[in-house]
Amino acid sequence: MEAVDYLAEERRKAEFDVEEMKIVWAGSRHAYEISDRVSRLVASDPVFRKDNRTMLSRKDLFKDTLRKAAHAWKRIIELRLSEEEAKTLRFYVDQPAYTDLHWGMFIPAIKGQGTEEQQQKWLPMAYKMQIIGCYAQTELGHGSNVQGLETTAKFDPQTDEFVIHSPTLTSSKWWPGGLGKVSTHAVVYARLIIDGQDHGVHGFIVQLRSLDDHSPLPGITVGDVGMKFGSGAYNSMDNGVLRFDHVRIPRNQMLMRVSQVTREGKYMQSDVPRQLVYGTMVYVRQTIVSDASRALSRAVCIATRYSAVRRQFGSQNGGPETQVINYKTQQSRLFPLLASAYAFKFVGEWLKWLYADVTQRLEANDFSTLPEAHACTAGLKSVTTSATADAIEECRKLCGGHGYLSSSGLPELFAVYIPACTYEGDNIVLLLQVARFLMKTVSQLGSGKNPVGTTAYMGRVEHLTQCNCEVQRAEDWLKPSVILEAFEARAARMSVACAKSLSKFSNPEEGFAELSADLVEAAVAHCQLIIVSKFIEKLQQDIPGKGVKRQLETLCNIYALYLLHKHLGDFISTGSISPKQGALANEQLRLLYSQVRPSVIALVDAFNYTDHYLGSILGCYDGNVYQKLYDEAWKDPLNETVVPDGYHEYIRPILKQHIRNARL
């Protein structure tokens, strides 16, 4: 059989309706139709070509990005695309650009923190891209510690203005995407100072560049922070540095939904909690969870298709060698990642719902679910991005040597993806926020206030700290109630243990710092429980299509038992399961790998990614890997000449040195 036929053969083995699974993956038939149409539109447009971008210089890459962003905007207008279609188009263009920050942070910041009046003034211009904005929070000296920001915004009652200033080197804004070379405006986070009194960090809309010739306005120094990790990759983004030298802005450019400054210089706080100043981060963290499932599914699609094409060893009587996907080791590394992609997809959908719910409540002045929304977005952002970053690298290794080629698409995907573990909150810092929320929840148990939402399980803490797992045979691990209880017991016991250790410290902050590594582990356990439970909840819905639900059940079990196996130490040391039950879980996991094996190619086909979006020879739909790799090699600039540039200067003299030596 030719390499090109391997995937066709695999597709025949699928035990479910792939077309229906595509709809489940997309979230709805409507979303599927948009995604399918728009991804093809992007793939067929030569301006969106991206196969050559790792070869471009920084300047050329940046210009190429500007060209793509402008072309995308033109197509959005020409085709009168809806907001959802436009977002989908930008996503499939697949090149980080200033537009990500304009649409993803600048506009949401104004929407979330601006008053009605401010929204009416700024949003129409931003929607039409008559102004381009970014989110300028992080500084050279402080990123995680937002309260430590140094930029100041002093109110001048004489002129009814704020004076924005960078008092120190470390107060220079540093990192904001889109700031370096493009943004005309920014939402700048600065300390509000009125009459010498510091009121903490607030957001201000500041114009940075002239709308006529794009030059920086007086008092503004702005530029790019320089090259980042990997060739191509995130270097398409102009992450910037910005300094203010007493820049004046009108008073009404402070975002005033949370707190206001009057004409007389009086500081007023509305009923809205102060933490809403951090609201844009909650919004973006939620979107990052869905993005994790996309990045992970992309890597998994590449590694799965290639693993079905690639053959090594095991040829009998001159027959074909073994497809590497049939090695149990390959399966035990790859299939959990496939299951994780689906798990992150569903938890991302749920988180989107949670965010919509909290937004609606906030509009009605109900702030009760804000702490949970913060903990869920922070924790799930952390857990899914860390797992995805590790998984992309694992997928590279799963593709052997060819995974290291740029044309596999994996090196660039890794380089673009890994900062997700840092931006929008360092993953450890965010888990510590979850841990604080958990410790607060535990401390309130027994106070008559029943925990709700994702911590509702803590309400059964007495049972969960004493229960014994009922598993006696491997197949018992297939019961959702059994899985759920094991994860709940582990999470509850880890949180309770941390709370007990904390109570031994007279100074709680000291205790928190001392125990922070354990607290992070408890936070991870809680977040993994959320992901597993949301997958199980998804399966309680009516899911049409032959065999679709069954495949999802298998993936859900793989995801849960893989986590259980990976964190066996937690489960056993907390007594949530016995070592024997851990071994049975592993036995069941092996069986599940065999069960899902015939359908894995169809399960990655269900992502419905075009070859353009995948950007990988190893992952191409037709599986014609070897011919494409061979042809691609000849396109490398080094192969433009048979004898390389530099031969006469640097190779020939070495080769000829024996002649000189012989003459000496």
Ligand X SMILES: Cc1cc2nc3c(=O)[nH]c(=O)nc-3n(C[C@H](O)[C@H](O)[C@H](O)COP(=O)(O)OP(=O)(O)OC[C@H]3O[C@@H](n4cnc5c(N)ncnc54)[C@H](O)[C@@H]3O)c2cc1C
Hey, which residues are catalytic here?
Answer: 424
Residue 40 binding partner per list ligand X, ligand LFVS4E46, none, with a CB distance cut-off of 5 to 8 Å that depends on partner kind: none
Measured between alpha carbons, how far is residue 467 from residues 213, 462, 471, 500, 527 in Å?
69, 9, 12, 19, 21
Residue 441 binding partner per list ligand LFVS4E46, ligand X, none, with a CB distance cut-off of 5 to 8 Å that depends on partner kind: none
Which residues share a beta bridge with 209? 216
Q: Kind and range of the H or E element at 191?
A: strand 185-194
Q: Which is nearer to ligand LFVS4E46, 285 or 538 (CB)?
A: 285
Place of tokens 């699609």: 301
Q: Which is nearer to ligand X, 517 or 655 (CB)?
A: 517
CA distance 620 to 191: 51
Is there a binding annotation on residue 646? no
Q: How far is the CB of 329 from ligand LFVS4E46 (least distance, A)?
A: 33
Q: Which is nearer to ligand X, 101 or 276 (CB)?
A: 101
CB atoms within 10 A of CB 328: 10
Residue 371 binding partner per list ligand LFVS4E46, ligand X, none, with a CB distance cut-off of 5 to 8 Å that depends on partner kind: ligand LFVS4E46
Q: Which is nearer to ligand X, 43 or 429 (CB)?
A: 429
The dihedrals phi and psi of 155, each to the nearest 5 degrees, come to -80, 130
Q: Which amino acid is at 663?
A: R
Q: Which is nearer to ligand X, 42 or 201 (CB)?
A: 201
Judge contact between 260 and 443, C-beta under 8 A: no
Residue 284 binding partner per list ligand X, ligand LFVS4E46, none, with a CB distance cut-off of 5 to 8 Å that depends on partner kind: ligand LFVS4E46
Q: How far is the CB of 141 from ligand LFVS4E46 (least distance, A)?
A: 13
CA distance 222 to 212: 17
Q: Which is nearer to ligand X, 101 or 391 (CB)?
A: 101
Q: How far is the CB of 185 from ligand LFVS4E46 (least distance, A)?
A: 16
Residue 436 binding partner per list ligand X, ligand LFVS4E46, none, with a CB distance cut-off of 5 to 8 Å that depends on partner kind: ligand LFVS4E46
Q: Which is nearer to ligand X, 432 or 442 (CB)?
A: 432
Residue 239 binding partner per list ligand LFVS4E46, ligand X, none, with a CB distance cut-off of 5 to 8 Å that depends on partner kind: ligand X
* Residues forming the site for ligand X (CB under 6 A): 101, 135-138, 143-144, 175-177, 234, 239, 419, 422-426, 428-429, 432
Q: How far is the CB of 211 from ligand LFVS4E46 (least distance, A)?
A: 23
Q: Which is nearer to ligand LFVS4E46, 362 or 625 (CB)?
A: 362
Q: Which residue is nearest to ligand X (CB)?
A: 143
CA distance 534 to 607: 20
Residue 604's nearest CA partner among 587, 588, 621, 617 is 621
Name, in order, each residue with C-beta under 8 angstroms of 120's C-beta and a sequence gap of 6 or more. Answer: none
Q: Which amino acid is at 278?
A: Y
Q: How far is the CB of 346 from ligand LFVS4E46 (least distance, A)?
A: 19
Residue 543 binding partner per list ligand LFVS4E46, ligand X, none, with a CB distance cut-off of 5 to 8 Å that depends on partner kind: none
Q: Which residues of 606-638 are buried (b: 16+ CB within 10 A; e: fewer)?
A: bbbbbebbbbbbbbbebbbbeebeeeeeeeeee
Q: Which is nearer to ligand X, 95 or 581 (CB)?
A: 95
Judge contact between 110 and 289, C-beta under 8 A: no
Is there a binding annotation on residue 178? no
Judge contact between 451 and 438, C-beta under 8 A: no
CA distance 370 to 375: 9
Place of tokens 């600048």: 106
Which residues share a beta bridge with 185? 133, 207
DSSP-derived letter for residue 131 is S
DSSP-derived letter for residue 644 is P
Q: Which is nearer to ligand X, 418 or 464 (CB)?
A: 418
CB atoms within 10 A of CB 510: 11
Q: How far is the CB of 240 from ligand X (least distance, A)?
A: 9
CA distance 526 to 433: 12
**Is 165 in a helix, a strand, or coil?**
strand
CB atoms within 10 A of CB 391: 28
Q: How far is the CB of 83 from ligand LFVS4E46 (least distance, A)?
A: 14
The dihedrals phi and psi of 358, each to the nearest 5 degrees, come to -65, -35
Q: How far is the CB of 134 from ligand X (least distance, A)?
A: 6
Alpha helices by DSSP H, listed for 608-651, are 611-614, 625-633
Q: Which residue is nearest to ligand LFVS4E46 (CB)?
A: 104
CA distance 428 to 310: 38
Break the chain down into helix, strand, coil percent, rounded to 5.
Answer: 60, 10, 30
Q: Going by DSSP bridges, is the β-strand pair 133-136/185-194 parallel, antiparallel, or unpaired?
A: parallel
Q: Which amino acid is at 426?
A: D
Residue 589 binding partner per list ligand LFVS4E46, ligand X, none, with a CB distance cut-off of 5 to 8 Å that depends on partner kind: none
Burial class (CB in 10 A: 0-12, 13-18, 19+), 658: exposed
Q: How far is the CB of 386 from ligand X (least distance, A)?
A: 11
The dihedrals phi and psi of 199, each to the nearest 5 degrees, come to -105, 15
Residue 619 binding partner per list ligand X, ligand LFVS4E46, none, with a CB distance cut-off of 5 to 8 Å that depends on partner kind: none
Judge contact between 293 and 113, C-beta under 8 A: no
Tokens of residue 653, six digits: 């003299």
* Residues forming the site for ligand LFVS4E46 (CB under 6 A): 100-101, 104-105, 135, 137-138, 143-147, 177, 275, 278, 281-282, 284, 287-288, 291, 370-371, 374, 423-425, 429, 433, 436
Q: Which is nearer to ligand LFVS4E46, 183 or 581 (CB)?
A: 183
Q: How far is the CB of 65 from ligand X (least distance, A)?
A: 14
- Cα 60–Cα 65–Cα 67 angle in degrees, nearest 5: 95
Q: What is the chain's length? A: 664
Q: Kind and range of the H or E element at 135?
A: strand 133-136
- Cα 631–Cα 634–Cα 640 angle in degrees, nearest 5: 155
Q: How far is the CB of 96 from ligand X (least distance, A)?
A: 8
Residue 275 binding partner per list ligand X, ligand LFVS4E46, none, with a CB distance cut-off of 5 to 8 Å that depends on partner kind: ligand LFVS4E46
Residue 100 binding partner per list ligand X, ligand LFVS4E46, none, with a CB distance cut-off of 5 to 8 Å that depends on partner kind: ligand LFVS4E46
* Binding-site sequence positions: 138, 177
* Binding-site sequence positions for FAD: 138, 177
